[in-house]
Chain A
Amino acid sequence: MNAIESVELSVAYGAGRVLDRISWRAGPGEFWAVVGPNGSGKTTLVKTALGLLQPQSGTVSLFGVAPRRFDAWQRIGYLPQFASPAFPKFPATVSEMVGLGRLAGKRFPRLLNRSDASAVVNALGRLGVADLANRRIGELSGGQRQRVLLARALVNRPDLLILDEPTLALDPDSRESFYNLLAEMHRQGGSTIVLVTHDSATAGRYASHLLYLDRTVLFSGTFHDFCRSPEMAKQFGPFAQHTICHQHDGEGRSCAK
């Protein structure tokens, strides 16, 4: 079953249509990079898939269920574009914050137990930040913060991980380290990953599939197909295609050649 599937999905803010008839599916174990220029609807697409925004027309589903009726939230890990605005002053330890991820799928009163505490320890250990467990979240560096937020998204070992511009506030070294971590986890885990990024060149190095948006779908498929498509070379220009595909091959060769 597809992790996300949208059919003729349109979303509008007021009079302006942000997404226009998007049909797309992210299958099990696929690693998708969702790229496109600013305002192309990347974040809107994932927010609509998660039920945070309502579609104007068309449908979207999570594991075959409309977001409004979806209740298996423990299958989803989400790292939003902007962390909580309260982050720097918020009185919470890393453990407490990652523990919030375990509330997904629980019913009222959503009490956390020993297995939840152990899942938190495992998630922090997996991301190499176990030593931060008792640190106040406002004391973390940008790189540490993203790892901790990723730990929260991963604490349930989700089948679908959605990351919205996760490296926006990171320096190049932290960004590289974050992407390597993600690629490693994808190799080990097999969950579907949807990475929203404006950094299409770097995304090409790690993701297997590409969704190129500009309010509508410009390309949806594997990087392999994208790089070998003369239509895409015509659409984006050979330089843009080369920039993405250069990273994907990892050999400095442009796939378009």
Chain B
Amino acid sequence: MREVMEFLRFAFVQRALLAGVFIAVGCGLLGVFLVLRRHSMMGDGLAHFAFATVGLALWLGWAPLWVSLPLVALASLVILHLPSRAAMYGDAAIGMVSAVGVAIGVLLSSLGGGFSVDLFSFLFGDILAVSRAEAGLAVGLAAGVFAAILLAYHELFAVTFDDTSARVAGIRPERVNRLLAVLTALMVVLGIRVVGMLLVSSLLIFPAVTALQLCRSFRTALLASAALSALSVVLGLFVALWLNLPAGATIVLVNAAFFSASLLRRA
């Protein structure tokens, strides 16, 4: 315990905790909608696409976050609309966008040469390297995502449950889906800093699936998912610092442990 308190004295740990918890809560909330709408892999596809946007930013010498946010949001809309424009299912659209992202990222890294090391650092995340400005931006954007979810809560709930009935209640499911896709894109870009591109989808999926094992109502499932997500980041971060492990991977394994425990509780 004393060691934990010692870690808290460091500014970089405080920034990591602040940004990590805000991002985790946002991912935890959005994850419930994504999992129930069977869009779990959207986060994974967008994270892979972010490989291209981070590569592009590094190639241009710009800040990766500012390049990634709009481009990944655009990719989320492409994933959303591609199935209705071309005769295909949503998972195929995710696979295609994901593959194109990785391909562009690899091309840019081979063309750029010098920034490959930076690019690959985004694959695994580095929450402890979050700067003051990045932490501020993460908190601000995550707070915006909370506000959007709060305001659109009933519409998101209705469309997630049954979009046909939602439409007959005067709700426009296509608008709600666009909102969900763009919010997911924002959280994926922010989450990359916490656990990296390869693992960011776990922040969206694990807490939600764990909460769904435990909760009877929609509201409690959302709250539980957000709480589990935040707890996994805090716990994962301290375990990583204590045992000198990679923070991103540790956070994901803590999430997996929570999920296993929820299964045991159900059994």
- Chain A interface (Cβ within 8 Å of chain B)? 50-52, 71, 73, 76, 78, 80, 83-84, 86, 89-93, 96-97, 100-101, 103-105, 108-112, 134, 136, 152
Q: Are B161 and A100 in contact (CB under 8 A)?
A: yes
Q: Which 4 A-B pairs have the closest CB atoms?
A: A84-B162, A73-B170, A104-B169, A91-B221
Smallest Cβ distance from A235 to chain B, in angstroms?
Answer: 33
Contact status of A100 and B170, CB under 8 A, knowing A91-B216, A110-B154: no
Contact status of A93 and B216, CB under 8 A, knowing A73-B170, A104-B170, A109-B152: yes
- Inside 8 A of B167's CB, which chain A residues have their CB? 50-52
Q: Complex: how many Å from CA A78 to CA B157? A: 18
- Inside 8 A of B166's CB, which chain A residues have their CB? 100, 103
Smallest Cβ distance from B93 to chain A, in angstroms?
Answer: 20
- Inside 8 A of A112's CB, which chain B residues have their CB? 154
Contact status of A110 and B155, CB under 8 A, knowing A80-B162, A101-B169: yes
> Nearest chain-B residue to A79 (Cβ)?
B165
Q: Are A91 and B161 in contact (CB under 8 A)?
A: no
- Inside 8 A of B168's CB, which chain A residues have their CB? 50, 52, 73, 76, 78, 104
Smallest Cβ distance from B195 to chain A, in angstroms?
Answer: 25
Q: How many A-B residue pairs have CB under 8 A?
A: 86
- Inside 8 A of B165's CB, which chain A residues have their CB? 78, 80, 84, 100, 152
Most buried by B among A76, A80, A110: A110
- Inside 8 A of B217's CB, which chain A residues have their CB? 91-93, 96, 136
- CB within 8 Å of A: which of B207-237? 211-212, 215-221
- Chain B interface (Cβ within 8 Å of chain A)? 36, 151-155, 157-158, 160-162, 164-171, 211-212, 215-221
Smallest Cβ distance from B146 to chain A, in angstroms?
Answer: 14
Smallest Cβ distance from B206 to chain A, in angstroms?
Answer: 16
- Inside 8 A of B152's CB, which chain A residues have their CB? 108-109
Q: Are B162 and A109 in contact (CB under 8 A)?
A: no
Q: Are A91 and B215 in contact (CB under 8 A)?
A: yes
Q: Complex: how many Å from CA A211 to CA B204? A: 49
- Inside 8 A of B160's CB, which chain A residues have their CB? 86
Q: Complex: how many Å from CA A101 to CA B171? A: 11
- Inside 8 A of A78's CB, which chain B residues have their CB? 165, 168
Q: Are A108 and B151 in contact (CB under 8 A)?
A: yes
Q: Are B170 and A96 in contact (CB under 8 A)?
A: no
- Inside 8 A of A92's CB, which chain B residues have their CB? 157, 161, 217-218
Q: Complex: how many Å from CA A76 to CA B166? A: 12
- Inside 8 A of A76's CB, which chain B residues have their CB? 168
- Inside 8 A of A108's CB, which chain B residues have their CB? 151-152, 155
> Nearest chain-A residue to B164 (Cβ)?
A80
Q: Are A96 and B155 in contact (CB under 8 A)?
A: no
> Nearest chain-B residue to A97 (Cβ)?
B161
> Nearest chain-A residue to B213 (Cβ)?
A91
- Inside 8 A of A104's CB, which chain B residues have their CB? 168-170
10 pairs from A and B in contact (CB 8 Å cutoff): A50-B167, A83-B162, A86-B162, A93-B217, A96-B157, A103-B154, A105-B170, A109-B152, A110-B155, A111-B154
> Nearest chain-A residue to B208 (Cβ)?
A91
- Inside 8 A of B211's CB, which chain A residues have their CB? 91
> Nearest chain-A residue to B157 (Cβ)?
A100
> Nearest chain-A residue to B170 (Cβ)?
A73
Smallest Cβ distance from A74 to chain B, in angstroms?
Answer: 8
Q: Are A52 and B164 in contact (CB under 8 A)?
A: yes
Q: Are B169 and A73 in contact (CB under 8 A)?
A: yes
Smallest Cβ distance from B266 to chain A, in angstroms?
Answer: 12
Given A91-B218, A100-B161, 13 new contacts (CB under 8 A): A50-B167, A76-B168, A78-B165, A80-B164, A84-B161, A84-B162, A90-B218, A91-B216, A92-B218, A100-B158, A108-B155, A136-B216, A152-B165
